[in-house]
Amino acid sequence: MLYDTLIRNARVIDGSNTPGYSADVAIRAGRIERIADLRDARAIEEIDAAGCVLAPGFIDVHTHDDTVVIRQPQMLPKLSQGVTTVIVGNCGISASPVSLRGEPPDPMNLLGAAQAFAYPRFEDYRAAVEAATPAVNVAALVGHTALRSNHMDDLLRTASVGEITAMRQQLRESLEAGALGLSTGLAYANAFSASTDEVMQLTQELSAFGAVYTTHLRSEFEPVLEAMDEAFQIGRHAQSPVIISHLKCAGAGNWGRSPQVLAALENAAKTHPVGCDCYPYAASSSTLDLKQVTDAHRITITWSTAHPHMGGRDLADIAAEWEVPLLDAARRLQPAGAVYYGMDEGDVRRILAHPLSMVGSDGLPEDPFPHPRLWGAFPRVLGHFSRDVGLFPLHIAVHKMTGLSAARFGLKQRGEIREGHWADLVLFNPHTIRDVADFNEPQRAAEGIDGVWVNGVLSYREGQANGRREGRFLAREGDLRQGFSPSNGV
């Protein structure tokens, strides 16, 4: 028998949260066909993986790649770090279903200008992804703020009965077309005024589909525990799994509270399917929020429509140059984006190490001067946190990026190296893998990634993309509540 690809002498860490083993892995017709000692087998393409780890392709569960997967389908920032699947539509913002009446409201502008929003129905977006054939697989959530912008003339209030009915219909149509669930970004001004009841009514659509509720909490600062309680209340009402986005203790006054936050997560998990994602950095990035302007920690401007040349500079330096207070400088820069150095490293490590947490980059591909997580999140977990810091063994790190993520989002036959599964794979050197992107030079590919296969096709090899793009749109499959069994968490 002649296989398409044969990867020999690999240390296989299969994504199931168990230590690795040595084996050869054979691929044919896009799937993993054999995992065994295949010394006598032959293939069209053979790779000696001696000294390297073969893992499932990483699943980036928290992205804002909604429009870039269509406009820049080579997806180099993700492919170069071993990511083979991205989940889009997070934080209440999605590219579909969207019908704009003007410029996209904050924070939907993180996904691009008005012309990037060309998908009034979810099925339009799905068709566009399939036509673009990006280099990575794409699965999508529907954003609450996107729905609000479609049906409300004023986003600074809660929705009326009629508006909620219209949003529910659009959400239901999207779920029928394969959406994973609903996301909210209740911390943002254009969703903050939405009542808990508004969100609860929308999430009533989720249960019949076994769909998920993900949320950028109403606050990640001092009221974080109250915001978590609201999220769990909504999930219980909806009979829907809850995933808290980029769980953190934001703001200097909140540092050191991660044990309380994690205890609240664990307590909720005893009676309801819950989880979280996080990124491996002590700095966040989003639009420039006047409520977050402070002199308690550094803030770097990533872009500014009014003053584009200020991208990459610290807000404090800009304010000093203009001889104005920080808040006045921030107002003058609007609309703009920023990196906030507002977290404690100890909190980041505790959350990252927790069994209920998955890894997501939360990268912003539209930023001219992006947070380095866009290019480096996954190698940073493997190199810095697992190998150098010793926060957890390598197989746990891999599980947080693969098997756990696939289970939570119902990505069938992905996330683990098993015979019959799709061949989304990454080959990396555990001794040299590291994130090279930093806050000074954020757009740099990671080191130590030797090969990335998407649906069985080698798309990235020894630091170079080869132009082969075999990504697919992954519609929701089955009841996502099943992926929150005790074996997939604490």
How confident is the model over 256-315, as pLDDT tens digits?
999 999 999 999 999 999 999 999 999 999 999 999 999 999 999 999 999 999 999 999
C-alpha neighbours within 13 Å on the C-beta side of residue 14: 18
pLDDT band at 486 (very low <50, low <70, confident <90, very high): low
Taking the alpha carbons of 61, 62, 68, 74 in that order, is the dihedral positive or negative?
negative
Residue with tokens 């054999």: 34
Which of left, alpha, beta for 298 (phi over 0: left; psi -120 to 50: alpha)? beta
> What CA–CA distance (Å, rounded) separates 384 from 81?
14
Residue 462 binned pLDDT confidence (cut-offs 50, 70, 90): confident
Q: Kindly provide the residue ranges of all beta strands, DSSP E only, lying in 206-343, ordered along the sequence.
A: 212-216, 242-244, 274-278, 284-287, 299-304, 336-340
pLDDT interval class at 488 (50, 70, 90): low
92: tokens are 């209440």
Q: pLDDT tens-digit profile of 203-245?
A: 999 999 999 999 999 999 999 999 999 999 999 999 999 999 9
Residue 487 has pLDDT above 70, yes or no: no
Amino acid at 208: A
Which residues, other chains included, contact 427 with Cβ-Cβ below 8 Å and sequence gap of 6+?
Answer: 7, 10, 47, 49, 52, 53, 54, 55, 449, 450, 451, 452
Single pTM value for the model: 0.97
**Residue 438: what are its φ and ψ, rounded to 5°?**
-140, -175
Looking up tokens 């790649």 gives: 65
SS3 59: strand
Q: Give the mean pLDDT of the chain.
A: 97
